[in-house]
Structure 1
Amino acid sequence: MTRQDKHDVREACLRLMKTAEAFVRRAPRQKRIEAERSALYKALYEVQLVLSVTRLPLSNKDSSKREGAARVLEKELKQSKANLARSQHALEQMDYLIEPVATKLDDLQVTAKKVQTVLKSALRSPARVLPFRKSR
């Protein structure tokens, strides 16, 4: 391998490392997706809590008031179930979106480590010394 070829390989490795670093710096998108995911988990937890705690008022003795309250609570329960279904669907979509990003990030990190080891070994190995030619 000539000196120019080594220089070209070194330059290509440096460009690849810079590109990998630029991609890794885009990780805030992944963090944002994970934050949205955790917010959805929290919303699901709250909806489940509301569903488990919601009860019909026991102090109402009037049946018409009780029926009205039951209808309101059933409506709220239905709304909560719909919110839960939407949240679960959004969570599934987030998982679907984050999976290729995480895979690509892992692949780029592996490639960056390989490039880094190749570059370190290239920088450690001494350049070939060409014999001195006497001019006539």
Structure 2
Amino acid sequence: MTDINQTATIADQANAIASRYIAAWSETDAVRRRALITNVFTPDATYLDPMARSSGHDGLDAMIGAVQQQFAGLRFRLHGKQDGHNDVVRFSWTLGADGAEPVAYGTDVAVVAADGRIRSVTGFLDAMNVPA
């Protein structure tokens, strides 16, 4: 199901978990994105940020697809250091075009299930620079 080493601490796994999460958000092929969502999130996973709320694989897939349509041509990337403790991982991200200043920055906090998949995400939008 996942490639997370169960003997490693969550702090050691933080980068791998965050990287898989960003890969799901960045995948534009619907079939590959759905496979990533299944691998990254538990079936009952929830997502909440200031602009969106969703749950389950279907809801997450629809939400990510809608964000990709709204911000066509832009990619999510990890920003800074990922860290974690207990069953929680925190990481920051940017959204932007290759070689351009990002249009958005955020920080997400994910609760990780025993199998290494994410069971909930609370997202925070740190800055948004979308041109009018």
TM range (shorter): under 0.3
Q: Quick check: which one's strand share is greater?
A: 2
Q: Quick check: which one's helix share is greater?
A: 1
Point out which structure has higher relative CO (alpha carbons under 8 A, 6+ apart): 1
User: What is the TM-score when the length of structure 2 is the normalising length?
Assistant: 0.24
User: What is the TM-score when the length of structure 1 is the normalising length?
Assistant: 0.23
